[in-house]
Structure 1
Amino acid sequence: MTRAEPKFTSVEICAGAGGQAVGLHEAGFRHLALIEIDEHACATLESNVTGNPEWDGCKVLKRDLTEFKVDELGLKPGELDLLAGGVPCPPFSAAGKQLGEDDERDLFPTMLSMVEALRPKAVMIENVRGLLEPPEKFSRYREEVIEHRLREAGYVKCYWKILEACDYGVPQLRPRAILVAMLKEYAEYFEWTEAKTRPLLTVAEALASSMRKRFKDSGHPQWKTFYERWLTEAEKGSVAPTLVGGSKKHGGADLGPTRAKEAWRKLGVCGLGVANEPKDLKDPDRDLFGERGPKLTVSQAAIIQGFPEDWKFEGRKTAAYRQVGNAFPPPVAQAVGEQIIAALEKGTKALAAAQSDTLFELPAPSASPGSELGDRSGDRECAAMS
């Protein structure tokens, strides 16, 4: 199926491995630039975007946002349709110190400065649920800083909600706080719709095909027995716990803290590390046949995040896994993007209609001399002379 020519443009900051970008692309946006500082994530974006006709014109910019000049984008104020981004979450994460605006990693001010300079028609910002949840630690920052600056710039908040990834066909519990704001002439057409009710996509359903292939390709004489054992365990469970990318400062990749590892174990998966891809399999006992069950590969973790199977991740295993674990699930971004596009389409149509009405509006007829509405000064002069 041929993808329709995108009508609306977007620029994304903190693009990471491209989760949000993929979703917005599928929604119908044409990306002009993806801005990211991590070298491995930039390599991933380049690998998938550069030379891909569907992403024609999209630049991958490796930049430190705190030093980035919007002039580099070559856009006039008001020319861009959407500015999107997932600003760093550690300042607001329950797993961190929750320093908020006092954390040097807080890029909300940078994002808002870009909004003020570019004047996009719509803004979409993604962050962790901790930014919105009780205790209301960040309420002042949200309302008096972020929302205030958006209002001052002429934007209307369409919503700021916590969206759960598993409601959008992602086999994972991954709540994220999503802010959408639009210029008034478009915001009035924005319609919030809940995720369509659908059966949960379980881990067993999502991974069955790739897991079967891994076991089969191992060449183990009892691969089918091991696969069926895994599937039986996985089918007892539902969706996965939240994948975490972890920090560059701490060790290798695994599937999260103790509670998450235990949840994975109930799904038949060992969370104590990440497996090599089948083509790089070196230790079957570690990756597939351990007591705790098989470990996930990076590509399987990407399935849990909702990435399309042909999206490639660059870097060594740990770097690639961190990109996946820190990503925004594409299906959620797509759903939000589709709602933004619907409002942009209606707003654009309404503005064009109003402009057309003004263009073809007939001027009011001038009153003819001597008529009731004309200049009566001559009559007054004649009366005065008589």
Structure 2
Amino acid sequence: MVEQPQETREPRTSVELFAGGGGLAMAVHQAGFRPLLFNELNTRACETLVASAKKTLGVDGMVRTDKTRPEPPKPGMPAPLYADDVRKLNMSALEGKVDVLAGGPPCQPFSAGGVAKGDEDKRNMFPAVFKAVREIRPKAVICENVRGLLRPSFADYFQYIQNELRLPFEKRDDEVRWQEHNNHLTSILATLSDDDTDPDHYKVVMVPVNAANYGVPQVRNRVVIVAFRADLGVDVEAFEKYVKTPKFSEDALFRSMRDEDGPYWQRHQVPDHVRERVRARLPRVIKEDDCQPWRTLRDAVQGYGTDVKLPALPTVDLDRLDEKFNFGKEIEVTDHIGWPGARIYKGHTPNELDRPAKTVKAGVHGVPGGESVMLLDTRYRDPQFLDGWTYRHRYMTVRETARVMTFPDEWLGAGPRGEQMRQLGNAVPVVLGEFFANAVADALAAAGH
């Protein structure tokens, strides 16, 4: 990729659909794109977007439901938030004015937690994305979704999704089965050459990602789909090579931990027994590479979860969990509140501080135990275990979870704890989204746009 200093870029524009708690929207905004429109249906998520608007999103703080054909805001004005079903919006007033259309269509149709009905599920919002592409004609599209799309049972439909994005103006009639429409699209695609420059066509890159490989302190396997309008002359092969090359690695983390005074231990002062336990479990053979170390849960809690150093979150006093005390008050961060009742049980192993966190999940019936529980550095004698010790554990706070999702501390989740955790579990990690948004901006710039 051709690197271009962000300050030399011309202002770019974006539209965000299915904005949720604002992860991808925030990422695109931080990558230098000026938002023209936000769309989100969920009431609590809209409240979150408004609460976080001033510092992180460029939202005007007003929720609109009065227009179905929104106009782009004037230069210098913040973007409106439309709290309505995206299928009701006519976005034709934005045609030719949008660089990036971004969004994570609801993933429940393709996730194990959402029963995985796929195309049959009414929550499948990919058709709404294609409608928006036809109306807006953006230069590029960024979509994020669950890795469940790569399941063999979804293989044909997932290929159909990509084919529709390549040829969005070949609209499917309601009475036509998707299989028939896919055959039609496939026949057209077979006639196109690699140097196709039709402005009605898009060139698509599909990237399976583990967010940890992009600097997120969390193992989170997802699929990112990026499309560029064919007439722009973007070097799609160079873009694909760049975004598929890991920037962080597990082996680099192991190398930073291997020595007793390694870089990881210089950054974190931990009890000797913790360091010894972690080092004893390192593999005997550690590969060499040019990557940076995976970031860990401890990194996130201590403020090293992103490239911007944050203050360390204060220790949660286990004796005060029942008080719902805000332990972050002393550093002016919200929602760093302890939560009682954490337990460890079969099938739900907790997070370890010196590994990336497990995948933050929304949960159908609340957040599962293991994914929101963390082992601590403190331990007590327990003859039931071979080494004679048991490590204490507790629930992660909302703020710790937000840091694992690489949200800034200014992010304010609306609603009770469970709702805030649901929004975080459904979000795109900000650092992951920003990486792809910057890569798209650089690819457009390299092509002269």
TM-score by length of 1: 0.70
1:205 to 275, 299, 317: 299
- Return the match for 1:94 from 112, 118, 121: 112
Q: Which amino acid aligns with 2:115?
A: K
Deviation at 1:201, TM superposition (A): 1.0
Alignment partner for residue 28 of structure 1, among 4, 29, 32? Answer: 32
- The alpha-carbon deviation at position 60 of structure 1 amounts to 1.4
Residue 294 (structure 1) aligns with: 394
Task: Give, in angstroms, the shift of residue 91 of structure 1.
Answer: 0.8
1 CA distance for matches of 2:99 and 2:319?
47
Matches within 5 A, 1:54-69: 56-69=77-90
TM-score in terms of structure 2 length? 0.61
Q: State the distance in 2 between where 1:207 and 1:348 align.
A: 41
Aligned to 2:181: none
Residue in structure 1 matched with residue 122 of structure 2 by the alignment: 104
The answer as to whether partners of 1:155 and 1:181 remain within 8 angstroms in 2 is: no
1:375-386 to structure 2, matched below 5 A, reads: none
In the TM superposition, residue 257 of structure 1 has moved relative to its aligned partner by: 5.6
* 2:357 alignment partner AA: A
Equivalence for 2:413:
313
What is the Cα deviation at residue 4 of structure 1? 7.5
Does the C-alpha gap of structure 1 residues 213 and 156 become closer, same or farther in structure 2, counting only changes over 3 Å?
same
Give matches, 1:227-246, under 5 Å. Answer: 237-246=354-363
Secondary structure, aligned partner of 1:238: coil
Secondary structure of the structure 2 residue equivalent to 1:306: coil
Shift of 1:346: 2.6
Partner of 2:187: none
Q: Which has the higher helix share?
A: 1
Q: Residues 95 and 313 of structure 1: is their aligned pair in 2 closer, same or farther, counting only changes over 3 Å? A: closer
Q: Which of 305, 330, 336 is the equivalent residue of 2:436?
A: 336
Residue aligned with 2:46, SS? helix
Of 108-117 and 88-97, deviating more is 88-97
Offset at residue 25 of structure 1 (A): 1.2
Partners of 1:52 and 1:203 in 2: CA distance: 23
Using a 3 Å threshold, how does the CA distance of structure 1 residues 236 and 33 change in structure 2: closer, same or farther?
A: closer
Alignment gaps of 5+ in structure 2: 1-5, 60-76, 170-199, 248-290, 303-310, 328-349, 379-390
Distance 1:325 1:292, change over 3 A: farther
Give 1:117's aligned residue.
135
Shift of 1:292: 4.7
Judged with a 3 Å threshold, the aligned counterparts in structure 2 of structure 1 residues 59 and 195 are, in CA distance, closer, same or farther, namely farther
The structure-2 alpha-carbon separation of the partners of 1:203 and 1:189, relative to structure 1 and needing over 3 Å to count, comes to: same
1:37 lines up with 2:53 in the alignment = no
CA contact (8 A) 1:20 1:328 kept: yes
Partner of 1:279: none
Once the two structures are TM-superposed, the CA of residue 155 in structure 1 deviates from its matched residue by: 3.2
Aligned length: 304
- Structure 1 runs not aligned, ≥5 long: 224-232, 270-290, 350-386
CA distance in 1, matches of 2:226, 2:412: 29
Matched residues in 2 for 1:41 and 1:6: separation? 31
Match of 1:84, SS? strand
Q: Give the Å deviation of 1:316.
A: 2.1
- Are the aligned partners of 1:169 and 1:201 in contact in 2 as well (CA < 8 Å)? yes
Note the 1:182-331 alignment, pairs <5 A: 182-186=228-232, 188-190=234-236, 191-192=239-240, 193=242, 194-196=245-247, 197-208=291-302, 210-215=312-317, 237-247=354-364, 250=365, 253-254=366-367, 256=368, 260=371, 264-266=373-375, 292-331=392-431
Give the drift of 1:54: 5.4
- The Cα offsets for residues 14-44 of structure 1, whole Å up to 9 and x where unpaired, read as 0001000111111111111110011111111
Deviations, residues 243-278 of structure 1 (Å, cap 9, x unaligned):
11123xx3xx43x265x46xx455669xxxxxxxxx
Q: Say whether residues 1:131 and 2:149 are aligned partners.
A: yes
Aligned match of 1:230: none
Are 1:124 and 1:178, in contact at CA under 8 Å, matched by a contact in 2? yes
Q: Is the 8 A contact 1:237 1:266 kept in 2?
A: no
- 1:206 is displaced (CA, Å) by 1.4
1:280 paired residue number: none
* Distance in 2, Cα, partners of 1:58 & 1:51: 13
Q: Specify the code of the residue in structure 1 equivalent to 2:48.
A: T
Task: Measure the CA separation in 2 of the matches of 1:10 and 1:217.
Answer: 47
Equivalents in 2 of 1:141, 1:187: separation in Å?
28
- Secondary structure at the aligned position of 1:32 is classed as strand
Task: Indicate how the Cα distance of structure 1 residues 202 and 140 shifts in structure 2: closer, same or farther if over 3 A, else same.
Answer: same
Task: Report if aligned partners of 1:234, 1:267 keep a CA contact under 8 Å in 2.
Answer: no
2:140 is equivalent to residue 140 of structure 1: no
- For the Cα contact (< 8 Å) 1:301–1:325, is it kept in 2? no
SS in 2 for 1:179: strand
Taking a change above 3 Å as real, the CA distance of residues 186 and 149 of structure 1, as seen in their structure-2 partners, is same
User: Take 1:52 and 1:147, find their aligned partners in 2: how far apart are those partners?
Assistant: 34
Quote the offset at 1:161 in angstroms: 1.3
SS of match in other structure, 1:201 = coil
Instruction: For 2:395, give the aligned amino acid.
Output: K
Distance 1:268 1:17, change over 3 A: farther
**1:167 counterpart residue number:** 213
Choose from 98, 110, 116 the match for 1:80. 98
> In 1, Cα distance between the equivalents of 2:434 and 2:168?
28
Q: What is aligned with 2:68?
A: none
CA distance, structure 2, for counterparts of residue 116 and residue 267 of structure 1: 51
Tell me: CA distance 1:128–1:268, structure 2 relative to 1, closer, same or farther (3 Å).
Answer: farther
